[in-house]
Chain A
Amino acid sequence: EIVLTQSPTTMTASPGEKVTITCRASSSVSYMHWYQQKPGASPKPWIYETSKLASGVPDRFSGSGSGTSYSLTINNMEAEDAATYYCQQWNYPYTFGAGTKLELK
């Protein structure tokens, strides 16, 4: 099983700040997917195949990485970006990172 380690676990960011969330895999993977979840809501697809934005995702978001190291970046943090973000790898068994809770400062 591939273990995904996200960092940081929690963070706060001010409006306009640049945010980077990292996801490290215990073994090399070809792709990383990301989901956004707000309290009381289902996870939303956010970034797929490492760097492709899901429909409706603002272009201040970006994804990058390869091998065992991947990241999600927000340029110019906005209030609506406060949420928990999960990474997910596509080898069986599918696994998710533990999540990064991003709060607005």
Chain B
Amino acid sequence: EVQLVESGGGLVQPGRSLKLSCVASGFTFSNYGMNWIRQAPGKGLEWVAYISSGSSYIYYAETVKGRFTISRDNAKNTLYLQMTSLRSEDTALYYCARRVNTGYFDYWGQGVMVTVSS
């Protein structure tokens, strides 16, 4: 059974940093591109970042470019999102999601909440 389990969220002050993790199981993690997608409270879905299976290709949404860094450790089956210079508008539930070839997110984690507030 495919599972994606996020962790690392919490309450953080504006301007500070936070690192999210997503542990994958039930599939060969190193074969798939992975993504972070977020959802602000009561709002829709926003794609945040993508990393290819071997980390060769990395893409970011303009809203986080230069502040967030996506990475992965295939030996640990773990996806990361390092978030710096956090803003109130980064407050959201952050999901990790597996991507298949046509850009479709076929498995999602349960999400981890990040709240940016003083």
Binding site for B on A (CB under 8 A): 1, 31, 33, 35, 42-45, 48-49, 54, 86, 88-99
Cβ-closest 9 pairs across A and B: A90-B103, A94-B47, A96-B45, A48-B104, A42-B108, A33-B104, A99-B44, A98-B44, A45-B106
User: How far apart are B68's CB and chain A's nearest CB, in angstroms?
Assistant: 13
Chain B residues within 8 Å of A92, by CB = 50, 59
The answer to the question of B102 belonging to the interface, with a C-beta cut-off of 8 Å to chain A, is yes
Chain A residues within 8 Å of B111, by CB = 42
User: How far apart are A38's CB and chain B's nearest CB, in angstroms?
Assistant: 13
Binding site for A on B (CB under 8 A): 35, 44-47, 50, 59-62, 95, 100, 102-111
Chain A residues within 8 Å of B61, by CB = 93
Prevailing SS type, chain A contact patch: loop
A-B pair count, CB < 8 Å, reads 63
A31 touches B103 (CB 8 A): yes
Chain A residues within 8 Å of B106, by CB = 45, 48, 54
Chain A residues within 8 Å of B105, by CB = 33, 35, 43, 45, 88
Question: A86 touches which one: B45, B95, B104, B109 (CB < 8 A)?
Answer: B45
A31 touches B102 (CB 8 A): yes
Chain B residues within 8 Å of A93, by CB = 47, 59-62
User: How far apart are B106's CB and chain A's nearest CB, in angstroms?
Assistant: 5
A1 to B59 Cα, complex, angstroms: 13
What residue in chain A is nearest B45 (Cβ atoms)? A96
Chain A residues within 8 Å of B103, by CB = 31, 33, 88-91, 94
What residue in chain A is nearest B46 (Cβ atoms)? A96
